Chain A
Amino acid sequence: MLVAITSTCDTLDALVNEKFGRCQYFLIVDPYTMKFEAVPNPAEQAQGGAGPKAAEVIINKGVNVLLTGHVGDKAEQALKTGNIKVVDGLSGNVKVKDALNNYLSNLKRD
């Protein structure tokens, strides 16, 4: 399983970015090994269609779950096509690490 988190910087200690399409980085983490890859978002400065473009990037990276604050309509359609589970509603004042741990511990409880 791969989890992508929208982030403001390229480390796990960075703060979460609430915006999906216009975030600076996607941190793509393998929760079993905690190894991660920081992918800069090519759509950050896009004129339009940033959300779908960002979706394309993480779909092609083989991500299964996305943790973010908010996903727009068009991006949501695209993510659905790519079979990515979206967990939204994260707030921008938590660290990526904490958001990830929180998600994983919730998973274990279920």
Chain B
Amino acid sequence: MVISIASGKGGTGKTTVACGLASVINESVYIDCDVEEPNGHLLLKPGILKEEPSYKLIPKINYESCDFCNKCAEVCEFNALLNLKSEIYLIDELCHSCGACTYFCPQKAITEANKENGKIRIGETSNNILFYDAYLKVGEASAAPLIKKVKNAYKGNKTVIIDSPPGTSCSMLESVKDSDFCVLVTESTPFGFNDLKLAINVLRQIKIPYGIVINKYDENYYLLDEYIQKNKLNLLLKIPFRMDIAESYSKGELLTETIKDYRIMMLELLEKIKTEIVEKEYV
């Protein structure tokens, strides 16, 4: 079972919910896919067992057969290849490892080589959660190849919790695309509401079942509730905007350990997700 936690907007509480969920599941695996600013380790406090470099593929040009036809620079959607007529100049930070240049080169002059783009860390917490995260190298423009690597670093059939990066772009898609269920975390603000709609659109297109968690719930902001009711969306949980939660979080504590009813909320959330996934499998 793979559960991903996403939201259109940053700072809604994805990591809090993801760590909370991971900590109430027996033998779970937590994967932090927010490789640009991983912060799951702040709450879970894992002991790091292994740190290994990760590589992405970049094109390598063989100048003996290259005739500077410009095809590779033309097909590169990310402007990573520049045809300077005497040289094909590669800006490797911009390369997304899509392989289009290699595929389309009429002279077959391009091969692919490895380049380090970040580090993957593997660890374990004191309550037996397997922990994975990754750090993207400074200056790298594309996170997707590293996200793919860290996602595939765990092989097994334990329950996996994926903490997706904010936004609705490549990195978010890469993180959520193979999951059985996606939890969308939002908040009771116009920004949270707007970005929730964007995220729902993405998940509908890639056909992943989803449910909504409203974090920092404020009943005065009725637009969000109205929208959820009107469109019959699957509302899983409302987490209240409370002082003790904020305080505990700001100290970097795992909320399920310090706040009793938070633990209960997470258990309820987990039960709801389980029934959703089962329903989907038998339909």
User: B190 to nearest A CB, angstroms?
Assistant: 27
Count of inter-chain pairs, beta carbons less than 8 A:
46
A–B Cβ pairs within 8 angstroms, 27 of them: A46-B79, A47-B78, A48-B78, A48-B79, A48-B94, A48-B141, A49-B80, A49-B94, A50-B79, A52-B89, A52-B91, A55-B82, A56-B83, A56-B84, A56-B89, A60-B83, A60-B84, A60-B85, A73-B139, A74-B91, A74-B94, A78-B82, A78-B89, A78-B91, A81-B84, A81-B87, A81-B89
| Interface secondary structure of A, over-half rule | helix
User: B101 to nearest A CB, angstroms?
Assistant: 14
Answer yes or no: A43 CB below 8 A from chain B CBs.
yes
Q: Is the CB of B141 within 8 A of A77?
A: no
User: Which residues of B pack against A, CB within 8 Å?
Assistant: 73, 77-80, 82-85, 87, 89, 91, 93-94, 139, 141
**What B residues does A59 contact at CB under 8 A?**
82, 84
A60 to B89, CA, bound (A): 12
**What A residues does B85 contact at CB under 8 A?**
60
Q: Is the CB of A53 within 8 A of B82?
A: yes
Given contacts A59-B82, A60-B83, A82-B84, 15 further A-B contacts (CB under 8 A): A43-B79, A46-B79, A48-B78, A49-B79, A49-B94, A49-B141, A52-B79, A52-B80, A52-B91, A53-B79, A56-B83, A56-B84, A74-B91, A81-B87, A81-B89
A77 to B139, CA, bound (A): 13
User: Which residues of A pack against B, CB within 8 Å?
Assistant: 43, 46-50, 52-53, 55-56, 59-60, 73-74, 77-78, 81-82
User: B77 to nearest A CB, angstroms?
Assistant: 8
User: A85 to nearest B CB, angstroms?
Assistant: 16
A56 to B70, CA, bound (A): 11
User: A75 to nearest B CB, angstroms?
Assistant: 9
Closest 6 CB pairs of A and B: A49-B79, A56-B82, A53-B79, A49-B94, A74-B91, A52-B91
**What B residues does A46 contact at CB under 8 A?**
79
A53 to B94, CA, bound (A): 11
**What A residues does B83 contact at CB under 8 A?**
56, 60
Q: Is the CB of A74 within 8 A of B84?
A: no
**What A residues does B80 contact at CB under 8 A?**
49, 52
**What B residues does A81 contact at CB under 8 A?**
84, 87, 89
**What A residues does B79 contact at CB under 8 A?**
43, 46, 48-50, 52-53
User: B9 to nearest A CB, angstroms?
Assistant: 21
A76 to B91, CA, bound (A): 11
**What A residues does B141 contact at CB under 8 A?**
48-49
A81 to B90, CA, bound (A): 11
Given A43-B79, A46-B79, A81-B89: A52 in contact with B84 (beta carbons within 8 A): no
**What A residues does B78 contact at CB under 8 A?**
47-49
A74 to B82, CA, bound (A): 12
**What B residues does A74 contact at CB under 8 A?**
91, 93-94
A50 to B77, CA, bound (A): 11
A31 to B18, CA, bound (A): 62
A4 to B5, CA, bound (A): 49
Closest to A73 in B: B139
User: B76 to nearest A CB, angstroms?
Assistant: 8
